[in-house]
Amino acid sequence: FEFTHALCRLPAKSVTDGLRATDQGDPDPLTFVAEHAAYVSALRDAGCDVTVLPADDAFPDSVFIEDPALALNGTAIVLRPGAETRLGEAAALRPALVENMNDVIDLRTDGYVDGGDILCTDTRVLLGLSARTNQRGAEDLRPIVEALGYTLEVLQTPPEILHFKTESSLLDATTVLATPTLAGSGAFKGLNVIETAPKEEAAANAIRVNGYVFLSAGYPKTAQRLQDAGYNLKILNTSQAALVDGGLSCMSLRY
Ligand code: CIR
C-alpha cells in the first residue's frame, strides 16, 4: 500500500456504454471526468506521481485501468480481461506500461484474469475466481507471480459479486476491509477483517494509498469504523463509476 506512482486513464465519452449488472441509467461523461479529476488529485496529495493517459473511446470501460493489468513490485503484468468488450484493453494499455513501469510481462493464456479479482499484500496475491477470471488464467498467472517472490492463493468469489475487489480492499499489511458476504466466504485467512456496515457494501471498493484510505462518499457508518480503527480517510465521489459497477480501486494502477 506504499506507492510512489499511479497510472490512470481518463473516462471516455463512450463510458455511457460501459458494462453493468443492473441498469440505473448511463453515467454522465462530464460528471465522470470531474469525479476522476478529484480522484487523480487525491492520489497526488497522497504522494503519488500520477500519469493520466488519454481517454480511449474504443473501450467504454477503459477508465477502469486496474482490470487489464496487474502492478506487482514495479513490474506490470499484462492480463487477459474476461469480458468480450474489454479483451482488447490489454493490448491498448501495453505501450503505456512499457513507458512507465520497470518491466512488463505478458500473461500468456487462453484463460482469463481481470485485475479487479486480485488483492495483493506484501507477500501474498489473493485471486478470486469470478465470471471474469477462470482457473486456467489463474494457473498461467501462478509462475509469473511466484517468480516475483509472491505466493498465489486461488479463491472463489461468491457468484453474486462482480470482482473479488468489488467487495474487499487492503487497509494495511495485515488488515482488509470487506463485505460480510466476502469475509464469510473464508477468503481472508491470516488477515484481520474490518467489515463494511449494513447496507454499505459498496464502501468495500476502497484503496489504501500511503497515509490515507480512499473511501467512496455516502458510507458514514463504514467511515466511522475505519476512523475508529485509526485510518485517515479521503472521501471521494464515485457516483458515475458506480453506475457502471466501478469504484475507487479500479481507476488506477498503483506502483
Ligand atoms: C466492468 O464491468 O468491467 C466495468 N463496467 C466495471 C469494472 C470495475 N472494475 C473493478 O471492479 N476492478
- Report how far ligand 1's centroid is from the alpha carbon of 64 (Å): 6
Output the ligand 1 site: residues, CB below 6 A.
18-20, 61, 64, 66-67, 83, 86, 116, 162-163, 165-166, 244-246, 250
How does pLDDT run across 182-230, given as a tens digit for each residue?
Answer: 999 999 999 999 999 999 999 999 999 999 999 999 999 999 999 999 9
Q: What residues contact residue 171 under an 8 Å CB cut-off, 6+ apart?
A: 1, 177, 194, 206, 208, 213, 226, 229, 231
Ligand 1 atom with the shortest distance to the CA of 81: 3
The pTM for the full model equals: 0.97
pLDDT band at residue 142, thresholds of 50, 70 and 90?
very high
- Report how far ligand 1's centroid is from the alpha carbon of 230 (Å): 29
Ligand 1 atom with the shortest distance to the CA of 67: 12
Are 78 and 94 in contact by the 8 Å Cβ rule? The answer is yes
**Known catalytic residues?**
163, 250
Q: Note the pLDDT of residue 111.
A: 98
How does pLDDT run across 49-105, given as a tens digit for each residue?
Answer: 999 999 999 999 999 999 999 999 999 999 999 999 999 999 999 999 999 999 999
